[in-house]
Amino acid sequence: MRNLALTSSIYKFGRRGRTLRTTGVEDMIEHVPMEDQRKGAASLDEARLRQQAIGVKLRQMFDEVVNEPIPDEFLDILRKAEKPSGER
């Protein structure tokens, strides 16, 4: 769950209106500026951690539905379809 806490850092970059901060992040990932190696490395780590956090949430979102009980409707429909002489 530690990963999730790290996601709070996401917002420190955001909300600058139209001038979107995608450039900064892409720079971190694609090419670390030479004059800023150390900061770049740290940012790369941070970007990776943020991606991990998103990945965790993504699975959580999916699994939330997977873990729901199957609605009866599904099993009813299937049961009816199974009847060979077509009672449905």
Partner 1 sequence: MSEAQVGRSPIDPVRDEVFRKELVTLIPHLRAFARTLTGDPTAADDLAQDAMMKAWDARVSFQLGTNMKAWTFMILRNQFYSEKRRSWRQSQLDQEAAERTLVAVDDPEAPVALDELRMSLAMLPPEQREALILVGAGGFAYEEAADICGCAVGTVKSRVSRARRALQAILESGGYERDGGAAGDAMHAILADAERLSTQR
> Among residue numbers 14 through 33, which ones bind partner 1 (CB under 8 A)?
14-18, 20-23, 25-26, 29-30
Closest-CA residue to 29 (of 12, 49, 15, 14) = 49
Q: Which class for 61: exposed (0-12), middle (13-18), buried (19 or more C-beta within 10 A)? A: exposed
On whether the CB atoms of residues 44 and 32 are closer than 8 A, the answer is yes
Q: Is 12 in the site for partner 1 (CB under 8 A)?
A: yes
Q: Which is nearer to partner 1, 29 or 41 (CB)?
A: 29
Cα distance from N-terminal residue to C-terminal residue, the chain: 48
CB neighbourhood size of 16 (10 A): 8
Q: Min. distance of Cβ 59 from partner 1 in angstroms?
A: 5
* Residues 57 to 76 in contact with partner 1, rule: CB under 8 A: 57-68, 70-71, 73-75
Interface residue list for partner 1 (CB under 8 A): 4-5, 7-8, 10-18, 20-23, 25-26, 29-30, 47, 50-51, 53-55, 57-68, 70-71, 73-75, 77-78, 81-82, 84
